[in-house]
Amino acid sequence: MRVVVVGAGISGTMTAYFLHRAGCEVTVVERESGAADATSFGNGGVIGCTQVEPWAQPGLPLKLLKWIGREDAPVLVRVGQIPHVMGWGRRFLARCNAADARDALAVNVRLTLYCLEQFAALREREKMTGEEYDLGLNGAYKLFFTPEAFAHAREFGKELAGLGAPVEALDSRAAAEREPALGPIGDHLSGVLAFPKEEIGDCRKFTRWMADRLQRAGVRFLYGTGVSRFRVESGRVRAVDTHKGPLDADAFVVAAASWTPGLLKDIGIRVPVIPVKGVSITVPATPWEGALQSAVIDYSRLFGLIRIGDRLRVSGSAEVTGHNTVPSPARCKALVDSVLEIFPQFAACMKAGPPLYWAGLRGNSPDGVPILGRTPVGNLFLNVGHGPEGWSTSCGGARLVAAAVTGERPEISMAGLEYSRFH
Ligand SMILES: Cc1cc2nc3c(=O)[nH]c(=O)nc-3n(C[C@H](O)[C@H](O)[C@H](O)COP(=O)(O)OP(=O)(O)OC[C@H]3O[C@@H](n4cnc5c(N)ncnc54)[C@H](O)[C@@H]3O)c2cc1C
């Protein structure tokens, strides 16, 4: 079977991997000059259950109202964008209730646990040591600074554990025994949720390693090639138009993140995904003696700080501002200031050389769950909507999508994951 995959981020590249393993003849079409040059370039690096909570939560609409117009707010919706995201916004707001949030959480945990299994199996199969992408296995910690916030987190931790996620609540002393960089802030910390099985790694390095390996194995990667249109005849996609000419195939997978809706609207496939810009700042770790070895996520200030190899990366911010990928100086500063409030040692890392400022567009679905597999067009499939967790869900999501294309039975239930849930 000949398959065209649109997009060479982590989602498209991993879909190509599983399709190739299933014996398909795969062509990946990417408009950038290489793999992982868009959202998969500089993400927060964490793989696992710290990312599974959907953003549509009961308290969020009120917070969004409070944050309107504040340039440094954790979530900022630019007023000019409101008309473009109305339909998506209505769906999102309708999901801001406890029952829907619980359902989405359960689907994400199921997918993420499957994905962690797939990562481990892949490393073994491909004889990866982890050095290829600066794999770190020191886990992740969510920090809580008030007894109320920690009490709420403990309840949430129980819910997650009930779904099978490896998570435990620790007091500040126990947390500092595992991650010594938390020692100096112990007096302020009420407690942490620890995720010992969380993995950390450089998504871009991983994707590029995989794309190179696939190219050597015969998968075609057409870089610098933008897809402009899908041609549908008799209910099936016949070809995609690119500026270098049409490409035909038996099946097509779109893994074009937040650019997907624009690509498919002309053929009547309405994909509810919007771009939500986030930023990251990467600096050398060495100037901070005793620097963090794991990942920490501060839920009150809404940032993640992670160790990737010999670097530290802070990531966060959510800005609805269209497809613009310029990192906003005000939002980067707000993130760095938040880190410095807790870890003043980070200042030395910021001074050690020019920090790498980056922005990327999370492709968010309204319910916070990826959109995987079949569409109403028989030979067209989706691997999109991964939002803030697309590195975590990549391996499992891609395997499920490849199974949908080849007609294999998926290894986990597809309930709550397919496009049909919106229509
Ligand atoms: C600040 C930030 C922090 C994050 N932290 C984490 C984290 O810690 N853990 C986690 O799991 N996830 C995280 N994420 C999310 C994760 O990075 C994304 O979900 C993931 O990278 C999405 O991968 P993708 O392949 O779907 O999209 P992309 O990497 O954006 O790939 C889509 C590709 O499609 C290409 N494309 C688009 N249109 C066309 C076209 N017409 N023709 C050809 N090619 C096209 C694009 O050029 C792009 O390369 C974070 C995201 C951000 C922004």
Q: Per residue in 281-329, pLDDT tens?
A: 999 999 999 999 999 999 888 999 999 999 999 999 999 999 999 999 9
Residue with tokens 């309107």: 68
Residues 6+ apart with CB under 8 A from 157: 167, 168, 169, 193
Alpha helices in 126-202 (DSSP H): 147-162, 172-178
Which residue puts its alpha carbon closest to atom 32 of ligand 1?
256
pLDDT at site 299: 85
Which residue puts its alpha carbon closest to atom 41 of ligand 1?
227
pLDDT at site 150: 97
How many angstroms separate the alpha carbon of residue 338 from the centre of ligand 1? 25
Give the Cα separation of 181 and 397 in Å (integer): 34
Q: Per residue in 211-267, pLDDT tens?
A: 999 999 999 999 999 999 999 999 999 999 999 999 999 999 999 999 999 999 999
Give the Cα separation of 14 and 420 in Å (integer): 23
* Cβ(326)–Cβ(343) below 8 Å: no
Q: Per residue in 69-104, pLDDT tens?
A: 788 788 888 888 989 999 999 999 999 999 999 999
Residue 332's pLDDT band (cuts 50, 70, 90): very high
Side-chain half-sphere of 170: how many Cα atoms within 13 Å? 21
**Mean model confidence pLDDT for the chain:** 96
Give the Cα separation of 76 and 318 in Å (integer): 6
pLDDT at site 64: 87
Ligand 1 atom closest to Cα of residue 13: 25
How many angstroms separate the alpha carbon of residue 401 from the centre of ligand 1? 17
Measured in whole angstroms, how far is the alpha carbon of residue 252 from the centre of its chain? 22
How many angstroms separate the alpha carbon of residue 171 from the centre of ligand 1? 35
How many angstroms separate the alpha carbon of residue 362 from the centre of ligand 1? 6
Give the Cα separation of 319 and 76 in Å (integer): 5
Which of 249, 253, 277 is closest to 362 using CA atoms?
A: 277
Q: Per residue in 384-411, pLDDT tens?
A: 999 999 999 999 999 999 999 999 999 9
Average pLDDT over residues 13-22: 98
Say what the pTM is.
0.97
Residue 423's pLDDT band (cuts 50, 70, 90): confident
Q: Per residue in 56-77, pLDDT tens?
A: 999 999 998 888 878 878 888 8
pLDDT at site 58: 95
Tokens of 218: 């015969």
Which residue puts its alpha carbon closest to atom 16 of ligand 1?
390
Ligand 1 atom closest to Cα of residue 225: 43
Name residues contacting ligand 1 (CB within 6 A).
6-12, 29-32, 37-40, 43-47, 51, 203, 226-227, 255-257, 259, 263, 278-280, 315, 360, 362, 386-392
Residue of 43, 356, 393 to test ligand 1 pocket, by largest number of atoms within 8 Å of CB: 43
Q: Domain residues of the chain, as ranges?
A: 2-41+204-272+367-422
Which residue puts its alpha carbon closest to atom 22 of ligand 1?
390
pLDDT at site 244: 94
Instruction: Look at residue 362 and tell me whether its pLDDT is greater than 80.
Output: yes
Tokens of 3: 């398959």
Residues 6+ apart with CB under 8 A from 270: 261, 264, 422, 423
Strand blocks (E) in 60-204: 75-77, 140-144, 168-170, 191-195, 199-200
Q: Is 372 exposed, middle or buried (0-12, 13-18, 19+ CB in 10 A)?
A: buried
Residues 2-41+204-272+367-422, CATH architecture: 3-Layer(bba) Sandwich (3.50)
